Chains A and B, each alone.
Chain A
Amino acid sequence: MTGEQIIFLITGVLILVSALLVVTTPKLLHAALWLVAALFGVAVLYATLQANFLAVVQVVVYIGAIAILFIFVVMLTRRELMEKGRQTRSNWWIPALLGLLILAGLVLLILSIPGVGRTVTVLPAGLDSVFALGSALVSPDAYVLPFEVASILLLAALVGAVYVATLDKK
């Protein structure tokens, strides 16, 4: 067992345990915080995959923005009586079963992919992945279009969210 594998295992356990707690804990605020933990773990994973930029972006965007947003909204929609009583539906076993089934299926599927046991190859020398990512995102030969569309999507989301959440001042 190499060091990488140990790091991977620990990170994996962290992620999964955090995720489980996200979906099972009755207190919503705790769930949001456990989400932060899970997201951290994912950032670490990105780092092990040598996608450095993505790791940083993960922390900044997901944790810094999205998770905070979640916390805000949880605060805004708190009611005293809300977090008493069950937080999962009464028929939680159906989704559990489904989840397990799908997991089993996916695992089977994954294991049947040819070359799934391959190990990582050395990055080509001279590859500046950030630069390459940046140029790929704005290059007309590459992914400028999805990039632009994503921008517009963000704009639309911004406008929509603001509009929907605006208080009607009556």
Chain B
Amino acid sequence: MSIPLSWYLILAAALFCIGLYGVLSRKNAIAILLGVELMLNAVNINLVAFWRYFNPAQMSGQAFAVIVFAVAAAEVAVGLALIISVYRRRKTVLADEIDLMKW
């Protein structure tokens, strides 16, 4: 018996939730971005699994995944650049200490 689709989807969901946990609970801003990466990968797994299991002749699943790659790369680049810039200014990468926009 082959692998049912649900296995992939559940795996992706678990990965997603781990990534979510990381985003919400880590102090370091870079660690937050690591969590974001995990979430994006979970999404990609979902997309490709759906592509393969429903209509592999139609390339939309893979195309979507490719676009997600591009977006993830862009986002990581910009995010890390921002973190570097903030680090240079305020000498910290802890998200809790970057709170100037408060009351």
Whether A and B touch directly in their complex, counting CB atoms under 8 A apart, is answered as: yes
Chain A residues near B (Cβ < 8 Å): 2, 4-5, 8, 12, 15-16, 19-20, 22-23, 28, 31-32, 35, 38-39, 42, 45-46, 48-51, 53-54, 57-58, 61-62, 65-66, 69-70, 72-74, 76-77, 79, 82, 86-89, 91-92, 94-96, 98-100, 102-103, 106-107, 110-111, 115-121, 123-124, 127, 129, 132-133, 136-137, 142-143, 146-147, 150-151, 153-154, 156-158, 160-162, 164-165, 167
CB-defined A-B contacts under 8 Å, sample of 23: A23-B25, A23-B34, A38-B15, A45-B8, A49-B48, A50-B56, A66-B76, A69-B77, A73-B83, A95-B25, A102-B16, A102-B20, A107-B13, A116-B5, A116-B9, A119-B1, A129-B62, A143-B60, A150-B70, A150-B71, A157-B75, A161-B80, A164-B85
How close is A136's CB to chain B, nearest CB, in angstroms?
A: 4
Q: Which residue of B lies closest to A95 (CB)?
A: B24
Q: How far is the CA of A136 from the CA of B11 in the complex (A)?
A: 28
Chain B facing A: main interface SS: helix
Chain A residue with minimal CB distance to B91?
A79
Number of interface residues of B (CB under 8 A): 73
> Which residue in chain B gives the minimum CB-CB distance to A105?
B13
User: Whole-angstrom distance from the CB of A87 to the nearest CB of chain B?
Assistant: 6
Contact B81 A165 (CB under 8 A): yes
| B positions within 8 Å CB-CB of A | 1-11, 13-28, 30-31, 33-35, 37-38, 41, 44-45, 48-49, 51-53, 56-57, 59-60, 62-63, 65-67, 69-78, 80-85, 87-88, 91, 93-94, 96
* Closest Cβ–Cβ distance, residue B65 to chain A (whole Å): 6
Q: Which 5 pairs across A and B sit closest by C-beta, in order of nearness?
A: A23-B22, A157-B74, A95-B24, A161-B81, A136-B59
Task: Say what secondary structure dominates the interface of chain A.
Answer: helix
Shortest Cβ distance from residue B48 to the other chain A in the assembled complex, whole angstroms: 5
Structural contact, B11 and A164, CB atoms closer than 8 A: no
Q: Which of A46, A66, A89 is the one whose CB lies under 8 Å from B37? A: A66
- Collect the chain A residues with CB atoms within 8 Å of residue B31's CB: 23, 28, 31, 87
A118 to B49, CA, bound (A): 12
Min Cβ gap B21→A in Å is: 4
Contact A136 B60 (CB under 8 A): yes
Cβ 8 A contact of B11, one of A15, A89, A156: A15
Given contacts A127-B56, A133-B62, 19 further A-B contacts (CB under 8 A): A15-B15, A16-B14, A22-B34, A51-B65, A54-B44, A54-B48, A70-B80, A79-B91, A100-B17, A103-B17, A119-B3, A132-B59, A133-B66, A146-B67, A150-B71, A161-B77, A161-B81, A165-B80, A165-B81
